[in-house]
Amino acid sequence: MASLLRNSGKITTTAGLIARPGFQGGRGFGLSSFSLFFSSPRRFQTTESESRVDSHCYDDEISQKFSVLGGKVPYTSGMRFTSELPEEKVPCYRVLDNNGQLIDSRNFAGISKEIAMKMYTDMVKLNTMDTIFYEAQRQGRISFYVTTTGEEAINIASAAALKIDDFIVPQYREPGILLWRGFTPQDFANQCFSNKFDDGKGRQMPVHYGSKKLNYFTVASTIASQLPHAVGAAYSLKMDGKDACVVGYFGDGGSSEGDFHAALNFAAVLEAPVIFLCRNNGWAISTPASDQFRSDGVVVKGQAYGVRSIRVDGNDALAMYSAVRSAREMAITEQKPILIEAVTYRVGHHTTSDDSTRYRPLEEIEWWQMARNPLTLYRKWLESNGWWNDEAEAELRSNSRKELLKAIQVAEKIEKPPVGDMFTDVYDAVPSNLFEQEKLLQQTVTRYPQDYPSDVPVRAVPSS
């Protein structure tokens, strides 16, 4: 079985530096470690067994008056370095077993049938959209696409657990949240084809969706820059006293960016109601997680910044739903940040510009596609409740496919945005130099139409 968490699964023993004479550590070193030095001068040798009791005491004067750590810190005469890895990896919260059955119904708060069904149908729609749009890119109809394959549960279940007032600050692999909130296949297609009905006015590459109406910040290509934005937006929500939070999504690769660290640190200091949701899918283009960090994943970084955190099975829709619901509750009522590490696998390529079989084995991809497919797992649970069957599946898939194909066909034929749209929104009001440039461009295109594409509508400029 391919190991996703590629950091060594072995339990590392605590390694201690032998105290050298002259070292004035703490209150002086214990006698036994001193004698160890003389008996074996090797460095990095394991210390005596963990069962030796070091006396922990509190220096009340320092703790109460002068502690820079904000509280009582126990002092110890034993010199012990905290291991770089915990003895046991942080456990991963899971609700459904491999057969789609509830493992422990006591730890699952429940879900209404309506939401449960919408979750599945949206997951299928998202999966279908990815297939069709990917094919469209391969056919040369759109220039670029990013699939979410394998991460449908993270997308849809997290969206289902949130409310429309919660602000979404995405990376670029979270279109499912827009889908949940009401973005139509036509909306998605219009943006990918950058036609005149694109809400983004044809300004950005495909998949850079955004919707002010649906409280989903426009996707930017920069990695992890959205995390401090999420904290700022959460601060604004906090000042407004709203019953809402912000959710910032990012990947395992994004957790290496400086912005990630600043955002978590700051969110804790500001006590901002923000959920940091990491899609740890094991790969950042061709960089595996083992080359990205050496910690036990991303979840342990939460504690380093004073942020409450949890590791969740990202392919388990019910676990995601449950965890995000609780996180939202905590973030809003306690006004603090929460970190969720959703462990999953990026089944598709990084983007259409990537061929991931060049750097990872096909068997690994296929294993995740088969054995821990979020749609298959969740579907088993739905069927065990009697809420789903093969006919419904076939109908849903067929309808979704038809709807998406139609959306592409329609979007392809719609006109591109007018030339005038190139010059608006640079500033709040169009400055005079851009007004003049637009006029000049309109005149040039009108005069030399043979030099310009025919599908760029030129709007007549009113004389100033």
Partner 1 sequence: MWGIVGQRACRHGSSAMSLQVTRPVIHALRSFSTAAKEMTVRDALNSAIDEEMSADPKVFLMGEEVGEYQGAYKITKGLLEKYGPDRVLDTPITEAGFTGIGVGAAYHGLKPIVEFMTFNFSMQAIDHIINSAAKSNYMSAGQISVPIVFRGPNGAAAGVGAQHSQCYAPWFASCPGLKVLAPYSSEDARGLMKAAIRDPDPVVFLENELLYGESFPVSAEVLDSSFCLPIGKAKIEREGKDVTITAFSKMVGYALKAAEILSKEGISAEVINLRSIRPLDRATINNSVRKTNRLVTVEEGFPQHGIGAEICASVVEDSFEYLDAAIERIAGADVPMPYAANLERLAVPQVEDIVRAAKRTCYRSSSLAATA
Question: Which residues contact partner 1 by CB under 8 A?
Answer: 167, 169, 198-201, 203-204, 208, 210-212, 217-218, 220, 222, 225-237, 239, 258-259, 261-263, 265-266, 269-270, 421, 424-428, 431, 433
Q: Give the closest residue to 120 by CA, choosing from 76, 162, 180.
A: 180
- Determine the residue type at 81: F
- Beta-carbon count within 10 A of 290 CB: 13
Helix (H, G, I), strand (E, B), or coil: what is residue 1? Answer: coil
**Closest separation between CB of residue 211 and partner 1, Å?**
7
User: Between 288 and 457, whose beta carbon lies closer to partner 1?
Assistant: 457
- Starting at the edge strand found earlier in the chain, the sheet holding 338-343 runs 167-169, 246-251, 274-280, 338-343, 308-313
Alpha helices in 385-447 (DSSP H): 390-413, 432-447
User: Between 194 and 400, whose beta carbon lies closer to partner 1?
Assistant: 194
**Closest separation between CB of residue 235 and partner 1, Å?**
5
Residue 267: CA count within 13 A, CB half-sphere: 38
350 catalytic per annotation:
yes
Residue 168: burial class (beta carbons within 10 Å; 0-12, 13-18, 19+): buried
Cα distance between residue 340 and residue 283, in whole Å: 18
User: Between 429 and 460, whose beta carbon lies closer to partner 1?
Assistant: 429
User: Between 201 and 416, whose beta carbon lies closer to partner 1?
Assistant: 201
User: Between 401 and 439, whose beta carbon lies closer to partner 1?
Assistant: 439
- Determine the residue type at 74: P
Cα distance between residue 53 and residue 51, in whole Å: 6
Return the H-helix or E-strand segment holding 185: helix 185-192
**Closest separation between CB of residue 331 and partner 1, Å?**
15
Cα distance between residue 252 and residue 288, in whole Å: 9
DSSP designation for 148: -
**Closest separation between CB of residue 427 and partner 1, Å?**
5
Q: Which of 56, 80, 294, 359 is catalytic?
A: 359
- DSSP notation for 255-312: GGSHHHHHHHHHHHHHT--EEEEEEE-SEETTEEHHHH-SSSTTHHHHHHTT-EEEEE
User: Between 265 and 326, whose beta carbon lies closer to partner 1?
Assistant: 265
User: Between 56 and 213, whose beta carbon lies closer to partner 1?
Assistant: 213
Q: Which of 173, 311, 328, 346 is catalytic?
A: 346
- CA distances in angstroms from 438 to 186, 276, 458, listed in the order given: 30, 42, 10
235 catalytic per annotation:
no
**Closest separation between CB of residue 459 and partner 1, Å?**
16
Return the H-helix or E-strand segment holding 369: helix 362-371
**Closest separation between CB of residue 197 and partner 1, Å?**
12
- Strand pairing partners for 288? 283
**Closest separation between CB of residue 363 and partner 1, Å?**
39
Backbone angles phi, psi at 310, to 5 degrees: -150, 150
**Closest separation between CB of residue 143 and partner 1, Å?**
17
229-254 b/e with 16+ CB inside 10 Å = b? Answer: bbbbbbbebbeeeeebbbbbbbbbbb
User: Between 75 and 423, whose beta carbon lies closer to partner 1?
Assistant: 423
Cα distance between residue 181 and residue 210, in whole Å: 12
User: Between 94 and 301, whose beta carbon lies closer to partner 1?
Assistant: 301
Cα distance between residue 46 and residue 152, in whole Å: 45
Helix (H, G, I), strand (E, B), or coil: what is residue 278? Answer: strand
Q: Which of 311, 350, 372, 379 is catalytic?
A: 350
- Beta strand spans in 180-230 (E): none
Query: How does strand 308-313 pair with strand 338-343?
Result: parallel
**Closest separation between CB of residue 82 and partner 1, Å?**
23
- Residues acting as catalytic residues: 346, 350, 359
